[in-house]
């Protein structure tokens, strides 16, 4: 997803801007750009390139484009195709100002029409160019007005969620940073300031930062920052010290995704030991900001999330209902805001988000916060916007996840939800300490099972199974009960990184329609279950598929002989706590999909059209 960065100060801006954009590359983008005022502060210089950041670097290599104030951008196309013209920075008609922008200006159509009537001509299809022209228009129509008043008049007209940074040729001593909805923070150096949509950009340069409040803007001079609300009132700000972990790239794996698949056992163990200690030190409920006594009365958990995190939440529902006897609802954050909402008493509303920045989840969180209901977020990114806005938070211990396709954050979410259900059960008197201790062990065993399957099947997957299955064009995934969300996750993973068509159905629903799809050309992937009754039903489903000449790939557990006999391809996973079946099978499922995508030559870490952090709704 798009990222914005900016620099003003004693040094040249290019180095920071390019470094920062490289750190934010993992968020996904399809074009990059840079603009600065030249060293003499006379001219606005810029460069843009479609494709990887390296294309921009190559383009700038032979001519020096640099200055003490600069801005940069990686763009994930929303308005208009990925072309150089549509890449940011965008400019006013006379190239006196440059803007980089995240998010969406929702009323750009009406602004564009108004500006056209004033004689403005546009060259790109972007809402950002409209913003640049509108800034120019505001500058041109005001005389001697303070720049802060001018920004107030501009933000009054803008609708949507956005963060932008602008520089003006006439004001080489100034960087303007504006945020509404999308995140933006300012890093404080020695006689220099950095601006970025994600504090990871500041790693190695400063730990001192200002998180701009929502609906605020900053006027940043080389030696001072002035912060305002959208009415133009000066805001006091606090400087936070944040240690942004940044692991330099470079590892022995062929891709980030494979590395992250292999890091899952460690991530799960780190989650279990961290939360064991936090719970022992009574820190868990404090971190969740949920009164321990209220946990006893807790009647509902409402989870909301998108994509892979939504699948983890759907698995978590089983934990809360079966372990903590607490009713759980799971909502797609992208739908939640547009559905009737019935606030519940004795509830906790929990957002799940690897990045802590997903716009749909964030807006749902804000809506629920606005109703004064208790909220919390489970996320992998401590410095994320959701951690600041939710009333409580629990951090995953997965370590940075760089591959666009989420793997270790997914299993860490499952592990943490499993523990949380046990913590609630303990407070409610449903389990005792010994059962909680068993839960830690169960998690450890499942993490071990996950890892053991990776090694066991690696060669088969690489050498024979991936070449075989990469030739198919369509896949059907099925599962029952807690394995159904895993089937959903698998179908999403296959689509996302291999671009093959994947459909998912609850196994019991096949006979209500999807069975019509079955023939020898559509492999059906079944995720088995350890519950004897559910297993029996799955065996029946497998027979129905076989009877129709279907091709069966079965992820089963050791000892499940009926399924094994029917399967065209059988993966055997060690038996674990049945509720941790999805966790134990996740690594193998991810590898299966991974090697198919590799076989097809797909860029697994950066699949086309999708991004890591989705900051638009
Ligand atoms: C798929 C994937 C996405 C994300 C979704 C939500 O592999 O990663 O489906 O899960 O965009 O992202 P977060 O969890 O950051 O809110």
Domain membership of residue 250 (yes or no) is no
Which of 397, 431, 465 is the endpoint of a domain?
431
**CA–CA–CA angle 393, 74, 115 (5° rounding):** 105
Q: Is the CB of 461 under 6 A from ligand 1?
A: no
Q: Is the CB of 307 under 6 A from ligand 1?
A: yes
> Is the Cα dihedral 220, 226, 227, 231 positive or negative?
negative
**484 is in which domain, residue-wise?**
457-608
Distance from Cα 378 to the centre of ligand 1, integer Å: 13
Torsion angle, alpha carbons of 121, 127, 131, 136, to 10:
-10
**H helix or E strand, kind and range, residue 240:** strand 240-241
Domain of 24: which CATH number? Answer: 3.60.20.10
Which of 180, 214, 241 is the endpoint of a domain?
241
Domain membership of residue 272 (yes or no) is yes
Distance from Cα 486 to the centre of ligand 1, integer Å: 15
Task: Return the pLDDT at 611.
Answer: 75
Q: Same domain for 232 and 275?
A: no
Distance from Cα 334 to the centre of ligand 1, integer Å: 12
Pocket mutation for ligand 1, best pick of 351, 358, 408 (most atoms within 8 Å of C-beta)? 358
Cα dist from 423 to 324, 403, 417, 515, whole Å: 8, 31, 10, 41
Q: Same domain for 591 and 479?
A: yes
Determine contact, residues 476/525, Cβ cutoff 8 Å.
yes
Domain membership of residue 33 (yes or no) is yes
Distance from Cα 311 to the centre of ligand 1, integer Å: 10
Q: Same domain for 277 and 426?
A: yes
412: alpha, beta or left, given left = phi > 0 and alpha = psi -120 to 50?
alpha
Q: Same domain for 59 and 182?
A: yes
Number of domains in the chain: 3
Task: Return the pLDDT at 110.
Answer: 93
Cα of first residue to Cα of last residue in the chain, in angstroms, is 12
Residue 207 DSSP symbol: S
Pocket mutation for ligand 1, best pick of 306, 489, 610 (most atoms within 8 Å of C-beta)? 306
Domain membership of residue 529 (yes or no) is yes
Q: Is the CB of 358 under 6 A from ligand 1?
A: yes
Q: Is the CB of 353 under 6 A from ligand 1?
A: yes
Q: Is the CB of 309 under 6 A from ligand 1?
A: yes
Residue 548 DSSP symbol: T
- CA–CA separation, 350 and 394 (whole Å): 10
Q: Same domain for 237 and 89?
A: yes
Distance from Cα 572 to the centre of ligand 1, integer Å: 28
Domain membership of residue 228 (yes or no) is yes
Domain membership of residue 296 (yes or no) is yes
- Three-state DSSP state, 157: helix
pTM (predicted TM-score): 0.82
Query: Directed axis angle between helix 433-460 and helix 581-599, to 10°?
Result: 20
- CA–CA separation, 260 and 450 (whole Å): 13
Q: Which atom of ligand 1 is nearest to the CA of 614?
A: 11
Mean pLDDT in consecutive groups of 10 residues from the start of the chain, 617 residues:
91 93 83 89 88 89 86 86 89 92 91 92 92 88 76 93 93 94 92 93 91 94 94 93 69 91 96 94 92 94 98 98 98 94 94 94 96 96 91 94 94 98 98 97 97 95 96 97 98 96 95 91 97 96 94 97 97 97 98 97 88 73
Residue whose Cα lies nearest atom 3 of ligand 1: it is: 307
Closest CA to 137 of 156, 166, 111, 110: 111
Q: Is the CB of 375 under 6 A from ligand 1?
A: no
Domain of 588: which CATH number? Answer: 3.40.50.10490
Domain membership of residue 41 (yes or no) is yes
Q: Is the CB of 128 under 6 A from ligand 1?
A: no
Which of 182, 207, 241 is the endpoint of a domain?
241
Distance from Cα 305 to the centre of ligand 1, integer Å: 9
Q: Same domain for 490 and 363?
A: no
Q: Same domain for 420 and 500?
A: no
Q: Is the CB of 496 under 6 A from ligand 1?
A: yes
Domain membership of residue 109 (yes or no) is no
- CA–CA separation, 494 and 500 (whole Å): 7
Q: Same domain for 306 and 420?
A: yes
Q: Same domain for 475 and 512?
A: yes
Distance from Cα 123 to the centre of ligand 1, integer Å: 33
- CA–CA separation, 100 and 72 (whole Å): 7
Q: List the beta bridge partners of residue 32.
A: 49, 74
Residue whose Cα lies nearest atom 7 of ligand 1: it is: 405
Residue whose Cα lies nearest atom 10 of ligand 1: it is: 308
Q: Is the CB of 406 under 6 A from ligand 1?
A: yes
Phi, psi angle pair for 504, to nearest 5°: -135, 140
Task: Return the pLDDT at 250.
Answer: 65
Distance from Cα 368 to the centre of ligand 1, integer Å: 21
Q: Same domain for 426 and 466?
A: no
Cα dist from 557 to 268, 529, 531, whole Å: 21, 8, 11
Q: Same domain for 384 and 490?
A: no
Closest CA to 176 of 195, 158, 157: 195
Cis peptide, bond prior to residue 394, ω within 30 of zero = no
Distance from Cα 216 to the centre of ligand 1, integer Å: 28
Q: Same domain for 259 and 390?
A: yes
């Amino acid at each position: 997803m798009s990222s914005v960065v900016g620099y003003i100060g004693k040094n040249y801006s290019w180095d920071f801007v390019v470094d920062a954009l490289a750190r934010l590359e993992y968020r996904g983008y399809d074009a990059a750009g840079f603009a600065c005022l030249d060293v003499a502060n006379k001219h606005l210089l810029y460069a843009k390139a479609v494709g990887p950041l390296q294309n921009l670097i190559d383009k700038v290599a032979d001519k020096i484009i640099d200055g003490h104030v600069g801005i940069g951008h990686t763009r994930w196309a929303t308005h208009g195709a990925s072309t150089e013209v549509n890449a940011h920075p965008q400019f006013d008609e006379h190239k006196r100002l440059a803007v980089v922008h995240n998010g969406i200006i929702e009323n750009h159509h009406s602004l564009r029409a108004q500006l056209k009537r004033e004689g403005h001509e546009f060259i790109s299809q972007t809402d950002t160019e409209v913003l640049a022209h509108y800034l120019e228009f505001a500058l041109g129509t005001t005389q001697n007005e303070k720049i802060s008043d001018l920004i107030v008049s501009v933000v009054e007209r803008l609708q949507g969620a956005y963060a932008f940074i602008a520089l003006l040729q006439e004001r080489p001593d100034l960087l303007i940073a504006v945020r509404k909805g999308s995140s933006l923070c300012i890093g404080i150096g020695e006689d220099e300031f950095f601006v970025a949509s994600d504090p990871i950009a500041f790693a190695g340069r400063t730990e001192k930062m200002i998180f701009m409040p929502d609906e605020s803007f900053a006027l940043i001079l080389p030696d001072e920052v002035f912060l305002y609300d959208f009415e133009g009132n000066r805001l006091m700000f606090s400087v936070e010290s944040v240690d942004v972990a940044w692991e330099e790239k470079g590892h022995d794996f062929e891709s980030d995704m494979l590395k992250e698949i292999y890091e899952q056992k460690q991530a799960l163990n780190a989650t279990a030991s961290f939360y064991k200690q936090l719970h022992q030190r009574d820190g868990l409920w404090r971190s969740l900001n949920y009164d321990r006594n209220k946990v006893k009365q807790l009647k509902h958990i409402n989870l909301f999330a998108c994509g892979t995190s939504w699948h983890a939440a759907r698995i978590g529902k089983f934990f809360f209902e079966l372990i903590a006897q607490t009713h759980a609802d799971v909502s797609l954050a992208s739908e939640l805001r547009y559905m009737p909402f019935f606030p519940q008493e004795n509830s906790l509303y929990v957002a799940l988000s690897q990045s802590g920045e997903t716009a749909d989840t964030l807006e749902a969180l804000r809506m629920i916060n606005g109703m004064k209901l208790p909220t919390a977020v489970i996320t992998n990114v401590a410095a994320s916007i959701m951690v600041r806005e939710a009333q409580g938070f629990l951090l995953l211990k997965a370590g940075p996840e760089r591959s666009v396709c989420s793997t270790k954050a997914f299993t860490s979410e499952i592990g943490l939800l499993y523990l949380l259900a046990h913590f609630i059960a303990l407070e409610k008197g449903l389990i005792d300490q010994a059962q909680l201790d068993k839960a830690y062990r169960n998690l450890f065993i499942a993490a071990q099972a996950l890892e053991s399957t990776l090694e066991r099947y690696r060669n088969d997957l690489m050498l024979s199974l991936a070449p075989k299955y990469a030739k198919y064009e369509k896949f059907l995934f099925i599962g029952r009960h807690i394995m159904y969300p895993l089937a959903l996750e698998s179908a999403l993973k296959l689509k996302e990184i291999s671009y093959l068509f994947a459909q998912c159905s609850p196994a019991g629903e096949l006979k209500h329609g999807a069975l019509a799809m079955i023939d020898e050309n559509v492999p059906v992937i079944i995720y088995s279950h350890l519950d004897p009754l559910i297993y029996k039903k799955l065996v029946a489903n497998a027979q129905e598929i076989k009877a129709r000449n279907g091709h069966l790939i079965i992820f089963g557990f050791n000892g499940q002989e009926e399924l094994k006999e029917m399967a065209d391809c059988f993966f055997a996973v060690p038996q674990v706590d049945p509720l941790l079946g999805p966790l134990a099978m996740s690594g193998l499922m991810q590898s299966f999909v991974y090697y198919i995508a590799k076989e097809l030559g797909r860029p697994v870490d950066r699949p086309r059209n999708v991004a890591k952090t989705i900051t638009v709704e």
